[in-house]
Structure 1
């Protein structure tokens, strides 16, 4: 029996909540080798639990890798995308609130390597997005409202996931309205409500643990590396 190939992974944004979840879960997966963890600031230790750590300013010194997984801040995405383009490496990006430079760098990368950008890597949200599009197509004259709740430290509002759900509705001719709540340590809750005269439909996704996003991103990385250059959706990767 052939040994399972080892996927060489870079975790970009390693000091954040998602970065820490990715490092912890990847350490339990025999087919994944995290060859570098990158954080904004210079590391206090160069090697932690066997993983080399780098500052964001040291990207050019990263070892060879197959795919980078990014959950960082918007101003760090462009440099990573350019590095992936130079090396022909895949990128799984989950950073939201991107600026024009970041968007342009991702677009350029997609011409040279496989890319997936998503605001949410859970299978449940991929299914929810499909359900929203279906409902909007059938309920085009109903009101559509999207309410999202997250922890108090989340900066962007509406969330990237809420905006992606809204795009699914807009694709069917429905214009959604948004409301955002920031409270406590809520991992993530999204409710899409369609309201007509005398009735309403609510589609809801609640995340109780951010490990679901980390697992989804790692699985997306596994499935992305074998693809041709281009931009892919989570649904294409996780539900295929």
Structure 2
């Protein structure tokens, strides 16, 4: 049992993974957190879609909250998360950057104001050469913000190539760039008559995702069972 004066104990589901190491480093430099593989207050999973069931089972067994930062999840994984959220608090985040969480809010507001008949939406993302999924989970998450703002389900236009590709009104276009060591760039373009609005975020280091993950872990401690998002984290700040 922890007290408010004790550091929050972070258990990493994939401690040797890229994000696991970055989160461990961030926690080691913050006196409000500590890494505890056996007795965590929060379980953090940045592993792979195949590992999700294992992290859910572990969190439920321990009776602790779960932060899911894994990308590339499908509908079956969403069902697993929804079921787990009936038992424990679960925060699912395609991107744990606090800046991306704020961008999500701005995109939703822009989509609500800029109507689909006059304003087309394109989302462009760039990541390092080793990223295995495209479009990125963050790009799709930002697309969902557009849909919420416009109260609609939009057709996805992915990686256009060929002829006869005039865009459909109300659709969302996605473009993915891969190469080098890019930590993550995202641009949401609202393309209107004779003007453009571009909302952008640039990740310069994976440390921003680690800091956001720690903020999310702090948020989860003491929360009731349910499904949470990074929007909840920034709304609570």
Considering the TM-score relative to the shorter chain, is it more than 0.5?
A: yes
Which of the residues 129, 132, 135 maps onto 1:158? 135
Tell whether the 8 Å contact from 1:84 to 1:109 is kept in structure 2 after alignment: no
Counterpart CA distance in 1 for 2:4 and 2:42 is 20
Tell whether the 8 Å contact from 1:219 to 1:238 is kept in structure 2 after alignment: no
Tell whether the 8 Å contact from 1:13 to 1:73 is kept in structure 2 after alignment: no
Counterpart CA distance in 1 for 2:133 and 2:60 is 27
Q: Which residue of 1 aligns with 2:108?
A: 133
Gaps of 5+ in 2: 153-169
1:71 aligns with 2:67: no
Tell whether the 8 Å contact from 1:220 to 1:238 is kept in structure 2 after alignment: no
Per-residue CA shift, 1:86-140, capped at 9, x if unaligned?
Answer: 2211011100112454323211211111110011111111111111111111112
Gaps of 5+ in 1: 37-62
Counterpart CA distance in 2 for 1:124 and 1:30 is 23
Tell whether the 8 Å contact from 2:23 to 2:210 is kept in structure 1 after alignment: yes
SS in 1 for 2:87: coil
Tell whether the 8 Å contact from 1:78 to 1:101 is kept in structure 2 after alignment: no
1:25-40 map, 5 Å:
25-36=26-37
Q: Shift of the alpha carbon at 1:6?
A: 2.5
Counterpart CA distance in 1 for 2:180 and 2:77 is 30
What is the TM-score of this pair, normalised by structure 1? Answer: 0.84
Counterpart CA distance in 1 for 2:42 and 2:104 is 26
Stretch of structure 1 that moved more, 79-88 or 98-107: 98-107
Q: Which residue of 1 aligns with 2:21?
A: 20
Which of the residues 179, 190, 194 maps onto 1:198? 194
Tell whether the 8 Å contact from 1:146 to 1:191 is kept in structure 2 after alignment: yes
Stretch of structure 1 that moved more, 22-31 or 157-166: 22-31
Q: Which residue of 2 aligns with 1:149?
A: 126
What RMSD over aligned residues (CA atoms) do the two structures have, in Å? 1.5
Which of the residues 206, 209, 216 maps onto 2:212? 216
1:233 aligns with 2:229: yes
Aligned length: 213
Counterpart CA distance in 2 for 1:224 and 1:88 is 13
Higher RCO (CA-CA < 8 Å; seq separation 6+): 2
Tell whether the 8 Å contact from 2:11 to 2:39 is kept in structure 1 after alignment: no
Q: Shift of the alpha carbon at 1:196?
A: 1.2
SS in 2 for 1:154: coil
Counterpart CA distance in 2 for 1:175 and 1:115 is 31
Counterpart CA distance in 2 for 1:122 and 1:81 is 22
